[in-house]
Amino acid sequence: MDQGLIVFEEFLLQYGIKKSPGSGRRINTDRPVLPKGLYWKGRVIWLSRVADGKHYNISTGTSDIELAAQFLANFDLKAFKGEQLGVITKPKVSFEQMANRYIEQGKLNGLRIRSLIRYQEVANNFMKFLDLRGINSDDAKNISPTLIDDYKVWRSSTPLNRKLNASPERPGADVRCASSRTLQLEMRGISAFFKLAVRLRLLDENPVERTRSIRVTTKLPVYLDETELKAFLKAATEIDSFSQQKFGTLIYQVLFTYLKTGMRLQELRHLEWSDIELKRGEIHIRQEKVMTFVQNIPLPAAAIKALQSMTPQSFEKLSVKERLSLLGRTRILTPKLLRTVKFDDFKLESGTLTQTCRVQWKPKSSGRVIPISQSLNTMLTQLPRASNLVFPDPVCGGLWRFEINRIVKVCGQRANINKSIHTHTLRHTFATHLRRQGVAIETIQKLLGHENIQHTMIYAHFSQQEAQTAIPKIEFF
């Protein structure tokens, strides 16, 4: 062999490149090895077979090796039966496979955990509907636009499976069904599954696109006026008198900060002192951060007594279920926590379980800066700094685990507020009062952290001051 050719071949091997047989093209050897009869062409796997004296080169339309192998098996089966080989049917793909593939790609693209859970719920609801109808979901081609419309009807007339709903058998039960907003979000999810399958050439069309879109009526947000706001905060200061837990002033501080900043609940829950600059009067919502804090969880007396008679080896052998039975399940001692507990984490002298927690967290939207008012600055200055967290749990010192939404509802009842309020109502209150004071909608968008200004436009109706000053401006004729 020519010496120059030998050197060239060694160069190709060194960089993981080889020439495709008979074509002179270079193929990266880092790609997965394909079964015989399949080869890479760009990002798509192609089929190469000889049958009936003809050489067939056919695109499988996918980069998935398993689906391409199924495509090849279908070709060989048709060749064996003597059927026409010019047109090869695409391999079957089930609705569940489509949904799982989309969710897996979402994980790789950094989709939030709550969004991934929501997509999984949408897939489960649709597969439940298919099972009730007796429709085989193994082939997504069976899903037609008519079936999609039937699903909308089924969801809008079937009670939601929630604990808040009373049983339909009980008289006067409040049995709620999926709202038009919920259906709209679910249709977006199902459509996303089909769009991915079409892009991967597993399906020819997206049936959701051939159905009518759901019209959603925009409702004005519920908010607290000035009188209700004062009564609500007064009830928050008295929560210890009608609550089984001793929160001190924590609930008032949390709700006051919520109303003064318009932060999202999880942003407030994960707020650290390093995020606050009191001298400059700013709160920074970081795009992503790693939090470190210590939590001391008090143990029941029975659990302390049982742990004193155990060794580290015997505790490590216990399953999660046995650990729950030993320590007792509470709102803090959860199965997820007990999976990572070591025997050395127990401080039996003080009767606590001490853990140093490291949490990676990122907000729903991109980072932003929220100015601090003078009253909020004064309150934050007076808070103790025993933890990295601004509002630690009063029991364990970690991320708070009390039911803030239930507390908000109770405070509303104590304040005689005849409205259905929840934690997000406080965020609506913050934005609405800003708009009523004439603050520009673009400024409110930045403060709330809305990526799309359409989400902020629900507050555009509340600028009464602008409306009253607008008419006199045309009194020039």
DSSP for 149-172, written as a single string: HHHHHHHHHSBP--TTSPPTTSTT
Tell me, yes or no, whether 270 and 387 share the same domain.
yes
Tell me, yes or no, whether 106 and 205 share the same domain.
yes
Tell me, yes or no, whether 234 and 271 share the same domain.
yes
Q: What is the CATH number of the domain that holds 432?
A: 1.10.443.10
Tell me, yes or no, whether 67 and 104 share the same domain.
no
Look at 268 and 139; give whichever has higher pLDDT: 268
Tell me, yes or no, whether 42 and 139 share the same domain.
no
Does residue 334 fall inside a structural domain?
no
Q: Measuring CA to CA, which residue among 300, 306, 310, 363 is closest to residue 332?
A: 300
Does residue 357 fall inside a structural domain?
no
Tell me, yes or no, whether 472 and 389 share the same domain.
yes
**DSSP letter, residue 210:** G
Q: What is the CATH number of the domain that holds 129?
A: 1.10.150.130
CB atoms within 10 A of CB 467: 10
pLDDT confidence of residue 82: 64
Q: Is the pTM of this model over 0.75?
A: no
Domain end (from 182, 210, 238): 210
Does residue 88 fall inside a structural domain?
no
pLDDT over 70 at 55, yes or no? yes
Is 324 exposed, middle or buried (CB count within 10 Å of its CB: 0-12, 13-18, 19+)? middle
Helix (H) or strand (E) holding 73: helix 65-81
pLDDT confidence of residue 240: 63
Tell me, yes or no, whether 459 and 401 share the same domain.
yes
Domain end (from 210, 238, 258): 210
Residue-wise pLDDT for 101-128, tens only, equals: 999 988 888 787 888 899 999 999 999 9
Residue 258 phi/psi, 5-degree rounding, is -60, -45
Domain end (from 210, 238, 253): 210
Tell me, yes or no, whether 396 and 275 share the same domain.
yes
Tell me, yes or no, whether 119 and 76 share the same domain.
no
Count of domains observed in the chain: 3
Does residue 220 fall inside a structural domain?
no
State the chain's mean pLDDT as an integer.
Answer: 81
Are 190 and 95 within 8 A, CB to CB? Answer: no
Tell me, yes or no, whether 261 and 120 share the same domain.
no
Widest Cα–Cα separation across the chain: 97
Does residue 63 fall inside a structural domain?
yes
Look at 192 and 394; give whichever has higher pLDDT: 192
Does residue 437 fall inside a structural domain?
yes
Q: How confident is the model at residue 87 (pLDDT cuts 50, 70, 90)?
A: low
Does residue 343 fall inside a structural domain?
no
Helix (H) or strand (E) holding 80: helix 65-81
pLDDT confidence of residue 174: 46
Residue-wise pLDDT for 207-257, tens only, equals: 999 888 888 777 788 899 899 999 999 988 887 655 556 666 788 899 999
Virtual torsion, Cα 201, 203, 205, 207, nearest 10 deg? -140
Does residue 360 fall inside a structural domain?
no
- In the numeric block, which tokens belong to residue 242? 């009608």
Tell me, yes or no, whether 198 and 56 share the same domain.
no
pLDDT confidence of residue 191: 93
pLDDT over 50 at 477, yes or no? no
pLDDT over 90 at 28, yes or no? no
Q: Are strands 352-361 and 276-277 parallel, antiparallel or unpaired?
A: unpaired
Tell me, yes or no, whether 70 and 146 share the same domain.
no
State which residues form the domain around 157: 95-210
